Structure 1
Amino acid sequence: MPLVPEVRLFLAEDAIILWARLEATAGRSLPAPYWASAWTGGQALARYILDHPAAVAGRTVLDIASGSGLVAIAAAMAGARAVTANDVDPYAIAAISANARANGVVIRPATRDLLDGDGDGAEVVLAGDALYDGLMARRVMPFLIRAADRGAHVLLGDPGRQHLPADRLRPLATYHAAITGPPEDAQIRRADVFAVRATTDTLQQR
């Protein structure tokens, strides 16, 4: 991956063909294999973590919508005390486990839907490209705000999708690169990393 050459991942050469093969094998419809691509916002967030290890070092970390495990792996490589990678797709959990082994790091997978909570006490909550559609954004952003409100350090990587709530975000870094991701991201050349601001911070600024 252009932005994160330190991390090795098992990825699909063509996620659409992989999806069709998985459905043929399963004999039923399956969710899109988001875990089989390195999403642009996730690459940016992983890059930021590796460049700023103090953001996670010695802390407990939760990576939501982890997909391939890229961001979780970066957190483990940067010295996080413990890393949990959360995804509800069992194929993603298998990919996370394989990719963690490939990079020599230990990551605890979690398959339960956590988005109605506030991060289960994790000191750092990470979300790489988790606002990819309106339905997901309407669940993820309230979750991230609840985590920030209880005192977690919350970081979001995003390539400028339309669901970003600008008033809740503090820009931290911008990355420009010919980023390899899923086909729908082929023309994306910029991705940003933000800190999610707690409700009290937002009210004080107003």
Structure 2
Amino acid sequence: MLSRKKLTPKKIFLFVYDPAASLIAMLLAIFIINNGDIPVRQWQIFTSSWFVLPITALIIFTLVGFYDQMWAFARGSQYLILTAGTTLQLILSVLIMQIMDLHFGFSTYVVYWFLLTSAVFLIRFIYRFYSSSVRLKRTGKDRQSQKRVMIVGAGEAGSQLITELKTSMTNRVPLLLIDDNPLILN
């Protein structure tokens, strides 16, 4: 799957960030559940099974498509993929840890899932915000060279076209929408 896709610095960063986030999320979950005092048994379970979390994160996140999305232009369905991916990663990790006879309490897994999902969402939101601010700076400099566009067909296709124009690097600005359906008035 990765061989046919271009490996970019952003993907490399996410390949490192996501597994690290899974480890940090589990450590924080153990810390939170135990009120800041990690029992020796919990620490032993973590040190015996730490490798399960990043390995399952890389496998599941790659298969689900975390690294194939264009996060600068992501929509709701792509963020649902993040939730599904972190849930699958949790399920697979719990199954492997059960087979190894190393497991945490249910509440630890719930807090872990919440922290991991939040971390995965957060880095992608930050990237989206950063890339959109860079894009705005680029288009802001070229105000005189922008071309105003009239879109005929204000339905779903027109809406998609407006989104594409706003998020792409072109100098075209949607200015006017005209619906070509004679059955719709005003």
TM over 0.5: no
The structure with the largest strand share of the pair is 1
Q: Tell me the TM-score range normalised by the shorter chain.
A: under 0.3
Report which of the two has the higher share of helix: 2
